[in-house]
Amino acid sequence: MTFRLAYSTLHWKESKLEQDLIHLKEAGWEGWETRQSLDWLGSARRIRRICDAIGLKVAAVSGPNVTLSTTDSAYEINKRRIEFASDLGVSTFMTKGPGRLDRSTTGADLDMMAAVYEGLAVFAEPLGVTVTFHPHINHLVDSADEWQRFMTRLHHCRLCFDMSHAVHWGCDPVQAVYDYRDRISYVHLHDYRGQADVQLGEGMMCDYPAFLSALEDISYTGWITVCPGTTKIPENEKLRINRMYLKSIGY
């Protein structure tokens, strides 16, 4: 199976977008995930024009972390991002949950968070956009048990499966692929060594060939996006290292 491979622009703070996307294309990527503000990106028409000229796709549009409220600014900003994704013709929208509270997470907390995600997902469906929940360490959902309990509360919202956070919670990422096979609609790849996030293959925090093989086994057809490490090397070198690693294992 040939996966659609994208690159996260999380660390592109003051990018020369067209030039950087050309480098991304030259390194062998097919798409990119945007987390930049709409003020910086401009209109959907502008992004389509740039991507069409270079030959790239936007894999996913990201929004700010949700809160436990459907009436605050974060909820409305996420709606505007969903509309932007729809205008751009992008079917995947991703956002993380709230940060960890200064107390234990309760069932009521999970209920409120699920109501926010479900509200966004229902809003997005007629626009042709799928909302995905991105599990993340040090957030409201912060263990394998909380993750499982939270997912049972979601019916419209889907899962952005980031294998690194599953590993940090002590999960077997390959088994988790099978456990959540009916919920996964987007995938993130990370790597860590010690306390640092590094480029793929430099930390080997999981068996990446086995993980990708499991995705093949469940006939996953969505985007797989690599989130680069923060090591101090030029961004163009990160593009190359991460893409070369995936090629080295057959992708």
Residues of the chain below pLDDT 70: 1, 14
- What span, in angstroms and rounded, lies between the C-alpha atoms of 167 and 98? 20
pLDDT tens digit string along 42-69?
A: 999 999 999 999 999 999 999 999 999 9
- Cβ atoms < 10 Å from Cβ of 72: 12
Closest CA to 200 of 248, 136, 159, 236: 248
For 55-207, where are the alpha helices, taking DSSP H only?
A: 73-88, 107-124, 144-151, 163-168, 173-179
pLDDT at 1: 63
Considering the segment(s) 4-248 as one domain, its CATH architecture is Alpha-Beta Barrel (3.20)
Give the pLDDT score at 156: 98
> Burial letters for 100-111: b for 16+ Cβ neighbours within 10 Å, e otherwise?
eeeeebeeebbe
Cβ neighbours for 172, distance < 8 A, ≥ 6 positions apart: none
Q: Domain locations in the chain?
A: 4-248
Work out the number of other CB atoms within 10 angstroms of the CB of residue 55.
10
pLDDT in the model for residue 195 = 83
d(CA 133, CA 148): 12
Query: How many Cα atoms sit within 13 Å of 85 on the Cβ side?
Result: 33
Give CA–CA dist 186/92, Å, rounded: 8
Question: Which string of b and e fits 184-213 if b means at least 16 CB within 10 Å?
Answer: bbbbbbbbbeeeebbbbebbebbebeebbe
pLDDT at 18: 94
For residue 47, the model assigns a pLDDT of 97
State pLDDT tens for residues 72-89.
999 999 999 999 999 999
